[in-house]
Structures are given as C-alpha cells and as structure tokens.
Chains A and B, each alone.
Chain A
Amino acid sequence: MSEIKILLNNEERIVEVQPYETLLEVLREKLGVISPKCGCDRGDCGACNVLLNGRSVRSCLILAVEVDGQEIITVEGISKDGLSKVQESMIDNNSFQCGFCAPGVIISATELLNNNPHPTREDIKEALSGNLCRCTGYLPILEAVENATKE
C-alpha cells in the first residue's frame, strides 16, 4: 500500500493504493468518480478516458501509483459549473443512445477543442477515432463537436 496525492477535478485527494490497482479502478471504486467506464479494459475503446495533465489517456492502462502528484480531470470536473459547450451540443444533437461511451468521447472532444478551437471535420474524426460507440454510427457525435465550434 502506498499513499498518493492527486488533484482530481480541482480537489486535492489523498488515497491509499496498491501498486497493481489501475487508475480506473481507484477512480471508480475508491474515489467515487464513476464517469470513466470500463469497456474493453485494454486501451482500444476509449470509454475510460480521463484528462491527465490536460491530455486524454486511458485510465485502464495506467497504474494509480504512476499519477502521484498529477492532475486528473473527468467529466465530473468538466461539468462542475454546468455543462460545457460540447456537452450541450451533444444533447442538442442526440449524440448518444446508451451513453456508455459518452464520458470518453467528451474527454477526447474536450482535449481536441482545448488545443484546436476550430478543428476540421478530419481533425474531429482523428481525435475521436479512439472512441468506440456501438449505438450511434458516430455521425451525431461528429456533428455535435462540429456544431460546438460554430457557436
């Protein structure tokens, strides 16, 4: 067991972790942050995406001990003071059905728009290409991100 201190959604959190626990497990089971989902559990699907120091990463492929002293933002943090533009746009475009992939998609889209406020359709596709969705066929998701940049 070792103690790690992280800045999670702008709040300092201290938690005891085992070396073999992944960041995803610790977020969901020990810290009560459940927007990151366990989909494929091997980095392919993007459902567990979180922002680590501003970059989207797979929390299922990171050991919790690795992120000691670092900053993590999840969808809970993004929407702390109300929904973000891209989240609003996703509602307006009926982007999701079951919603399982949504937090991961929102994380990828947020990183993209932070670095590139006016992405092309190709940029959006590339940024979201690591997020698998089985419901929508992706079009309403791509449109939502595109519309969010127009307003």
Chain B
Amino acid sequence: MSILHDFEYYKPADIKSAVELLDKFGNKAKILAGGTDLVVQMKENIVTPDAVIDIKAIDKLNEISLDDETLFIGACVTFTELMESEIIQKYFPLIKDMSATVASMGIRNRATLVGNICSAVPSADSAPILLVYDAEVVIKSKSGERIIPIEQWFAGPKKTVRKDNELVTGVAIHLIKENHAGCYEKLGRYSGEDLAQAGICVLVFEDQIYHVAFCAVGPVPKRAEITEKFLNGKEITPEVIKQAKKLLLEEISPISDIRSSKEYRIHMMDVMFDRGMKKALNKLRGGTHV
C-alpha cells in the first residue's frame, strides 16, 4: 500500500528550526524519527499530516550521554544503538535487556526508545523500565524547556501529555548510587514481530525498596504503587510475594484483544511477577550491578 496523501518533508538541522516548524504546523505536523510506527499509520490513513518533520539530522538528538550522573537518551537513538552503547551496558543493562526484546533486528535498527513512548501504545516495552527508573521526558518548544516525570507522561492508550507544538528531545535518567538489580519480564507470542501481551519490570534495592511497573495490562503503562507500598521495608518471602500478587492483580486492568485474553494476561502477570522478583533478587545477592 502506498501513502496516499501528499505532505511537505522537512529535515531541520537544529532543535530551534524543528520547534519553529512545530509551532507553525501544530497538529498538522508529525515528527519522524525511526518511522516504524509513523509510516505504517500514514499508509493506513490513520494520520495524514501536512508536514513531516524528520529530526534525524539534529546531532544532539542522536546522543547517548552521561553528564552530572544523568543519562540522556536522545530522541533518535535506536534500540540497536542502546544495545551497543557502552554507557548503557555499564550503567543500565536493564535497558539493554529490554531493547533486545523489541520486535526484530531490522526494526530495532530503526525504531527509537523515545518514539516508543511517544506512540504510547499500552504495550510499549520501554515504558516499564523508564517508570522503575523514574525517568524524565525532556521537551522543547518555542517557549522553552519542560521536564515531565514519566509517571505523568502517559495520558491514555496512544495518548501523551505532549502538546502539538512540543518536541521531545530525549529522556533523562539519574544514576542510582545504591546497590540495586532489576528484571524485565515480557510475554510475547514469538520473537520477531512482537508486541508485549504483558510486561512487568521490577527494580529491587539493597535497603528493601521495590519499584514495580507494568505494560500491556492496563490503558497506560504504570507503576504498581499499592504493591510497592506493601513490599517496601519487607524481606521477600513466599508469603510476602503471595500477598503482593493479590495487590498487583487489583492494580492492573487488562482487556481481551487479538493478542491474548484478559484471563491469560492476569494469570501470566501472577507468574511473571514471581519470576521477575526472584531473578532481580538473585542478581542483587549475586552482587552484580543490575
């Protein structure tokens, strides 16, 4: 299927020109990074922008950097680049593990983490990891910069709090100093072309603090706050896990769709929470950094 409507293509060389274009076209503009979602949507006439703004020529947006103990992942950084980055491998191996579960090599070579959270499908693999790390979404517009905690980013299925004139330049994550370990568990049908049927990410800290986030089992990816509150300060025993699971299953609200039934998703969240906690605790006790 071809794209059946015409549009203007822009490839600004800096952030200033990009936000000026966004300001001019507003909701008639679409931002193009990897294009693995946008081009499909244009082919299917789900979106018909007047202007497509390709941001890949903006150097800053292609960066993975670590400054002042803050990791910055630019909007054009692909999942393959994340997997190959020494900074990611050293400080955020969980991001590498998650990236390896995204679709297939040919998609990971093009698709971006920031694009993943901007598309904001409930099954976004990047979301649970960014949630457990309390990441921040960095946004630029003509009126300046805005930082949004990831927890407040998702506004509904395929909806975010980004305004039409705003450009997401990247995500920022503060380096965690305390000893911690994490795990991302993803349920998919087969590797290759794969959206999560359910996903859960846990981050456990030495001082018995626990971060838990999920995707694909509710309208938006979210932190499991009630479950976390219950877990915090507790030694993990089979009984604690059992009680935590009950709370977790109340916090999720999966639906049945083409990929799996609601019942299966609930069942698997139960199993995957258990698995994820055990793997993360093992890593923590093994002394490895995540």
Give the distance in Å from the alpha carbon of A55 to the alpha carbon of B39 in the complex: 19
Residue A95 interfacial (CB < 8 Å): no
Interface residues of A in 34-77 (CB under 8 A from B): 41-44, 46, 49, 52, 55-58, 60-63, 65-66
User: How far, in Å, is A1 (CB) from chain B's closest CB?
Assistant: 11
Q: Which of B2, B52, B110 contacts A61 (CB 8 A)?
A: B110
Determine the residue in chain B with the shortest Cβ distance to A66.
B54
Determine the residue in chain A with the shortest Cβ distance to B8.
A19
Q: Which of B3, B43, B105 contacts A108 (CB 8 A)?
A: B105
Residue A126 interfacial (CB < 8 Å): yes
Determine the residue in chain B with the shortest Cβ distance to A50.
B106
Q: Is there contact, CB below 8 Å, between B35 and A61?
A: yes
Give the distance in Å from the alpha carbon of A108 to the alpha carbon of B54 in the complex: 26
- Given known pairs A19-B8, A19-B52, the reply for A108 and B110 (CB within 8 Å) is no
Q: Is there contact, CB below 8 Å, between B106 and A108?
A: yes
Residue B192 interfacial (CB < 8 Å): yes
Give the distance in Å from the alpha carbon of A61 to the alpha carbon of B109 in the complex: 12
Residue B116 interfacial (CB < 8 Å): no
Q: Which of B3, B11, B109, B192 contacts A56 (CB 8 A)?
A: B109
Determine the residue in chain A with the shortest Cβ distance to B191.
A129
Q: Is there contact, CB below 8 Å, between A58 and B1?
A: no
Give the distance in Å from the alpha carbon of A108 to the alpha carbon of B35 in the complex: 19
User: How far, in Å, is A15 (CB) from chain B's closest CB?
Assistant: 15
Give the distance in Å from the alpha carbon of A111 to the alpha carbon of B108 in the complex: 13
User: How far, in Å, is A21 (CB) from chain B's closest CB?
Assistant: 8
Residue B107 interfacial (CB < 8 Å): yes
Q: Is there contact, CB below 8 Å, between A57 and B106?
A: yes
| Residues of B contacting A111 in the complex (Cβ-Cβ under 8 angstroms) | 105
| Residues of A contacting B6 in the complex (Cβ-Cβ under 8 angstroms) | 18-20
Residue B36 interfacial (CB < 8 Å): yes
| Residues of A contacting B104 in the complex (Cβ-Cβ under 8 angstroms) | 46, 129-131
| Residues of B contacting A21 in the complex (Cβ-Cβ under 8 angstroms) | 2-3
Residue B56 interfacial (CB < 8 Å): yes
Q: Is there contact, CB below 8 Å, between B105 and A127?
A: yes
Q: Is there contact, CB below 8 Å, between B110 and A62?
A: yes
From A44, A61, A132, name the one whose CB has the most chain B CB atoms within 10 angstroms: A61
| Residues of B contacting A132 in the complex (Cβ-Cβ under 8 angstroms) | 192-193
Residue A9 interfacial (CB < 8 Å): no
- Given known pairs A42-B43, A129-B104, the reply for A65 and B9 (CB within 8 Å) is yes
| Residues of B contacting A41 in the complex (Cβ-Cβ under 8 angstroms) | 1, 43
Given contacts A44-B193, A55-B109, A66-B56, 7 further A-B contacts (CB under 8 A): A19-B52, A22-B2, A22-B39, A42-B43, A52-B109, A129-B191, A130-B104
User: Would you mind naming 8 contact pairs between A and B with Cβ atoms under 8 Å apart?
Assistant: A19-B52, A20-B5, A21-B2, A22-B39, A43-B40, A43-B103, A57-B109, A63-B32
For the complex of A and B, the 6 pairs showing the least CB-CB separation, nearest first, are A130-B104, A129-B192, A19-B9, A20-B3, A55-B109, A44-B193
